Structure 1
Amino acid sequence: MTTIQQPAAPQQRTYGNWRRGERPGLFGLGPVGTGLAFAVMVCATGTLVVSQWLALAIAVGGMVMLLPLAVRFHGRTGAQIIAGHVVWQLGRARRRHVYLTGMASPVSLSHRLPGILARSLLFEVETGLREPLGVVVIPQSRHYTVALRCQTEGMELVDQPVLDQRVGRMAAWLSACCREPMLEQAQITVETTPDQGAALAAEIAQTTVPNAPAAAKKVLADIIRTYPVGAAQVDTWVSLTFKPPTRGRWTHEAVCAEIATRLPSLIAGLHGAGASVVTPMAAADLALTVSSAYDPVTAARPGVRPAPGWDAAGPVAAQESWDRYRHDSGVSRTWGMVEAPRGSVYSSAFSRLTDPDPTLLRKRVAIIYRPYTPAAAAALVERDRRDALFTAGKKRQATARDTVDILAAEQAAHEEATGAGVTRFTVLVTATVADADILDEAEARLMARAGEARLTLRCMYRSQAAAFAATLPTGVVLPVHATIPF
């Protein structure tokens, strides 16, 4: 009698080991706050020989000054929150939250982009590829950004080993980004919009001959009427932001030429990570994409919309509120990642978050990576390892989270030593609706989808305009433009 053993089902891979970089210190103050606390104690002790009341005043004043640095809410100190309120109120008093262009505007007659992108420029470069390349330049931060439009293959009817291979090649691509000398940021954005059937109707009208059979015309008319129901358009961009070295005279032409030489290898690395076709976005495509984000209702109307110039890609009017951003025909709200999913996740963790939502005019999910150089990564993982050991050692009894943190730091140090790259990453989600009254309903649905991925999101209060611009393929690096340091 022969026994045939069935092969075991392949085990699905899991991913994780994300760590939030925090420096240890006394009472949660961090290194800088701890140094200030020691300085206050030394000053108070030194003045005891002069006056006890003076020493007491220094000690009390130091405690009042350091208390906002010790208290944290959602990863931010009390001092940062207080400073944010003050800066926001000063900006409102100076009317900086309102933007108006056109004939009645004191700012600009043309419809330029607002806020961080107000001084941005757009160049078009011939790279030797099939399409010209649009380069967005932000002069105040010396950032040059190129955008790549990707046709993704999706996850439907794809075997799990193929998905694991795509994730591995994506990790190899991110590791290659860490070795790009001028690369500051890599951003992957997935935008979904309800498809009104305009493109399908235009294609059918263009290809239908006048003497076509009546039955064929009736079938095509039924397709135009029924196909757009429940359909959605999905666009995926990869934005690469470069910054030239401070040494040397780097002109715009020199930087664009340098980027063009590095782009083919970065494009080749995306092909195995789930992108079947990768096309550099030209200047007209970039301007039309940005303009459609600020005026979504006009962009969704049937017909071919001409691409505006970069000076006309902005909104006619925009107003930033505490938790929303009104721009032309839409109202948007942007959320940022507070905490990455704990533990291990599967390759489909963010799939529900990026799925189309027919009730929204537009939705953008942007995953932003800021790679470390190999030298900085080596120093970082060793520092994190020492910090994790110090945090656990200063407690009488280490918690389970301390133990897990030590294991994660040890694994990160081992993987970096064997050639892996280290990147910082965050997630921004922008939802655009036609009426502000349904923003809360849209937020409830998005929070439910984020909960399925165990991703903690929080509204970007007082920063809605900047966060909205950061989800576009324009290369906005938020920490560089932040008024208050993180």
Structure 2
Amino acid sequence: MAAPASASEFELSPVKFSRLTKRGIILGLSLPQVIAVSVAVAVFVASLYAGGPAALYTAPIWGTALGLAAIPVGGRKLVEWVPITLHWLLRQLLGQTRYRKRIVKPRPAGTLALPGDAAALRQYEDPETNAVMVHDPHGQTLTVLLEVTHPSFVLLDPGEQERRVHAWGRVLSTASRSTRIARLQVLERTVPDSGTGLAQWWAEQGHDDDSWVARTYRELIDRAGPAGERHISTISLALDMRAAARPIRTAGGGLRGAAAVLRQEMATLTTALRTADLHPSDWYTTGQLAIMLRSAYDPAIAATLERAGDIGQELAAAGPVAVEETWDRLRSDSAHHVVLWISEWPRSLVYPGFLAPVLLSSGIRRAFTLLCDPVRSDQAARDIRKKKTEYISDAAQRQKVGQIEDAQQTAEYQDVLQQESDLTSGHGVLRYTGLIAVSATTADELEAAVSAIEQAAIQASCETRRLVGQQAQAFVAAALPLCRGI
């Protein structure tokens, strides 16, 4: 007779995230703050040596420098806004915040019709798998993607949820151990339901005898289909062509050799996903990627493209017609967009389904992206040793000047110790970046959707911040499956 299962086998284990490091170079001051304070001290000391009212005359200089280093605005000190603002003004001066498609001058063959720094991306179709691979000549990466289907996680029992969490951890561990993977991107997005599922069911199961009932049912399907929404999950894999230079040369060199090396990583990832009870599709073709890119910039056409057969499957014409970037938002063909950055993950213990309020929010078109950057074990060990040394030296410096130890700094140091323990136990190290791209038809609807997503993030114990001065670049990273960073 089998022994009864213990209660712990059916309990879902909580998890804890490391805090975002906010430690500065010295005494909690960042590099821009140190520079500003140094300028203020140098000007003030020089004015004292000059004698007379020189200190009063130079007060606007050293006073402004101290104010830039000390006054916070929007979660940052004023001095940290200076490079962001200058870069934004320079881009505006050079006309880089506006994009218009050149209709009479088509894009060169093999390029992606995307604006901004993504215009340099090239496409390569693998002759063996028919998968489309996106080549970044500047970042020296080669990216491929597939779609993943899975049962609803929140409807599973705790024991099955725990098993699937560990299985997904093994998938990430497989990716982190490979020294040839530059980045792994998990993209979960909502798209309008085109009604193809209902139409297919009616074609297979219905009896269309052109009667009044059949005509009414057919009209209801045509009207109700595009009104719904569905969730699509994709995983993108980027090969680091610099790290894989030797096997690429062995495989023949160039994009052909890089594609051969990437196929090995693709096979490994597919096997790991199937082991985790996930169902990967075939790798995306040129037409599938073209529809996905077009739908991101022009959401109003998404349902039409899905039902239109072979229309819209050319990457050379899949980009937006017009893009207008402002300080805190982006406007493309038929939508307004805002990108939010998850600046703080939950600080307390949470269960793996903690993102359900964000991912299951209905009536909002959004794309949630998780960028995973693997860190080699030797590099991770060096980084951890460096952080430990800096924390210990900062604590000694604060003790000398009589500064009280901050609980936040103590918690960050404990996180570093936990990371060292996990690395010693054989776990891989991944750096996570969470982005949420919210889209709507009008500016008012966009603000309402952003507010709803921010409230959902609060329910998920996460802190979000709206990115400014880089919305176009952030949108490419958050809404497109191209493994792009910001």
TM-score if structure 1 supplies the norm length?
0.83
Flag structure 2 segments of 5+ consecutive residues without an equivalent. Answer: none
Q: Percent identity?
A: 22
Higher helix share: 2
1:423 is displaced (CA, Å) by 1.5
Q: Distance in 2 between matches of 1:463 and 1:382?
A: 33
Q: How many residues align?
A: 463
Q: CA deviation at 1:195?
A: 1.9
Q: 2:271 aligns with which of 268, 292, 295?
A: 268
Distance change in 2, residues 1:74/1:415 (3 Å): farther
Per the alignment, residue 169 of structure 1 pairs with 167
2:287 — aligned with what?
284
Instruction: Give, in whole Å, the separation in 1 of the partners of 2:224 and 2:277.
Output: 26
SS in 2 for 1:26: coil
Separation in structure 2 between the aligned mates of residue 237 and residue 383 of structure 1, nearest angstrom: 36
**Against the structure 1 CA distance between its residues 17 and 387, is the aligned structure 2 distance closer, same or farther, given a 3 Å change threshold?**
farther
Letter in 2 for 1:157: L
Taking the aligned partners of 1:211 and 1:442, their CA distance within structure 2 comes to 40
Match of 2:390 in 1: 387
- Paired residue for 1:449? 456
Does structure 2 retain, via aligned residues, the 8 Å contact 1:121–1:310? no
Q: 1:189 aligns with which of 187, 190, 212?
A: 187
Distance 1:307 1:33 in 2: 50
1:147 maps to which of 145, 148, 164: 145
Q: Which moved more, 1:320-329 or 1:264-273?
A: 264-273
**Map of 1:481 onto structure 2:** none
Within 5 A, what are the aligned runs for 1:29-428? 29-30=29-30, 52-53=49-50, 68=68, 76=76, 78-103=78-103, 112-127=113-128, 131-197=129-195, 199-204=196-201, 206-207=203-204, 212=209, 217=214, 221=218, 224=221, 228=225, 231-245=228-242, 250-273=253-276, 275-301=278-304, 303-305=307-309, 306-358=311-363, 360=364, 362-393=365-396, 394-395=398-399, 396-428=403-435
CA distance in 2, matches of 1:115, 1:370: 23
Contact kept? 2:341, 2:467, Cα under 8 Å: yes
Question: 1:19 & 1:32 partners in 2: Cα distance?
Answer: 22
Instruction: Determine the C-alpha separation between the residues in 2 that align with 1:426 and 1:18.
Output: 13
Amino acid at match of 2:237: L
**What letter corresponds to residue 317 of structure 2 in structure 1?**
A
Q: Describe the shift of the 1:274–1:445 C-alpha distance in structure 2 as closer, same or farther (beyond 3 A).
A: farther
* In 2: Cα distance, 1:71 partner to 1:374 partner: 39
CA RMSD of aligned residues (A): 3.7
Deviation at 1:217, TM superposition (A): 3.4
Rounded to whole Å, the distance in 2 between the matches of 1:442 and 1:477 is 24
- Cα-to-partner distance string for 1:212-233 (whole Å, 9 max, x where unaligned): 5959837954872686497421
Deviations 1:306-338 (CA, angstroms, capped at 9, x unpaired): 243221111111111122211111111111122
Aligned residue identity for 2:437: T
Range with greater deviation from structure 2 (417-426 or 380-389): 380-389
**Equivalent pair of 1:150/1:279 in contact (CA under 8 Å):** no
Call closer, same or farther: CA 1:7–1:286 in 2, change over 3 Å. closer
Shift in CA distance, 160/218, structure 1 to aligned 2, threshold 3 Å: farther
Matches within 5 A, 1:15-26: 15-26=15-26
Contact 1:369 1:424 in 2 (8 A): yes
**2:155 match: secondary structure:** coil
**Secondary structure of 2:368's match?**
strand
The separation in 1 between residues aligned to 2:35 and 2:211, in whole angstroms, is 83
- Matches of 1:70 and 1:373, distance apart in 2: 37
In the superposition, relative to structure 1, how do residues 342 and 470 fare at CA in structure 2: closer, same or farther (>3 Å)?
A: same
Distance across 2 between alignment mates of 1:100 and 1:31: 38
CA contact under 8 A between 1:123 and 1:135: conserved in structure 2? yes
Query: For residues 328-358 of structure 1, what are the alpha-carbon distances to aligned partners after superposition, in whole Å with 9 as ceiling and x for unaligned?
Result: 1111111112222211111111122111522
1:371-411 Cα distance to aligned partner (Å, 9 max, x none): 11111111122233333444445255434333333332222
Q: Which amino acid aligns with 1:163?
A: Q
Distance 1:422 1:7, change over 3 A: closer
Q: Deviations over 1:411-442 (max 9, x none)?
A: 21111111111111111111111112211111
Q: Which runs of 5+ in 1 are unaligned?
A: 479-486
CA contact (8 A) 1:74 1:338 kept: no
Moved more, 102-111 or 148-157: 102-111
Contact (CA 8 Å) 1:120, 1:137: kept in 2 or not?
A: yes
Amino acid at match of 1:95: G
Q: 1:119 deviation in Å?
A: 1.6
Q: Helix, strand or coil for the counterpart of 1:145?
A: strand
Q: Distance in 1 between matches of 2:134 and 2:76?
A: 31
Deviation (angstroms), 1:300: 2.1
186-195 vs 227-236, which moves further: 227-236
Q: TM-score, normalised by structure 2?
A: 0.83
Match of 2:372, SS state, is strand
CA shift digits 1:128-176 (9 cap, x unpaired): xxx5221111212222111121112221431212211222222222222
Question: Do residues 477 (structure 1) and 463 (structure 2) align?
Answer: no
- Asked if 1 retains the 8 angstrom alpha-carbon contact of 2:17 and 2:345, the reply is no
Q: 1:435 to 1:77 in 2, by over 3 A?
A: same
CA distance in 2, matches of 1:142, 1:296: 30
